[in-house]
Structure 1
Amino acid sequence: MMYWNDHDMGGWGFGLMAIGMLLFLGLLVVLAVALGRYLGQTPRPRPPDARPSSSPPLPSPEQLLAERFARGEIDADEYRHRLDTLRSGATGPVSG
């Protein structure tokens, strides 16, 4: 019997091995990119008819104004003026 290549790989073996390795590495890259995009995506907004989340409601404008007054950002006269403006429903520029 004649064994031409005994246990060595010929030209086709090296070529198929190289193609297989490139396909495998390409698959790894595609999986890494897909995983990165999945983990890095921002959450989608909830539809308007969905149940409300457990987060607390946003403070009202009067509550925000009271917080600014409590922190000392505005004085008592400005607080009263802005509070009157909010309650009267006037729309216009408010300095601050």
Structure 2
Amino acid sequence: MTNLALALPTAVVSMPALAQTSADRSDYWHYGWGWGHMIFGSVMMIVFWGGIILAIVLAVRWLGGDSGRVTRSQSRTNGPLDILHERFARGEIDKEEFEERKRLLSD
């Protein structure tokens, strides 16, 4: 009974505050801010999610390691004989052509 006796006056006293309209509390709705905060918030949201996606992509690429691609620096280290051996192994040239080109390259 004591709880009800304390709760009832508290509820009755707070009723006028809840009955106020937004016009009565102009600072509550932050009038005068304009649209700048909405544009800033939108840009920040795009930057935030773009950063998250970029971090995920970079983490996957870093964790994935070398995917078997030949990079520019690797292709420069391959000499002509290495390329000739690769072409012969892939079947692009036959044995006679391989021997002839190998002889020409070693001269």
Band of TM-score, shorter chain: 0.3 to 0.5
TM-score with structure 2 setting the length: 0.39
Instruction: Give the structure with higher Rg (CA).
Output: 2
TM-score with structure 1 setting the length: 0.42
Task: Determine which structure has the larger helix proportion and give its number.
Answer: 2
Of structures 1 and 2, the one scoring higher in RCO (CA 8 A, sep 6+) is: 1
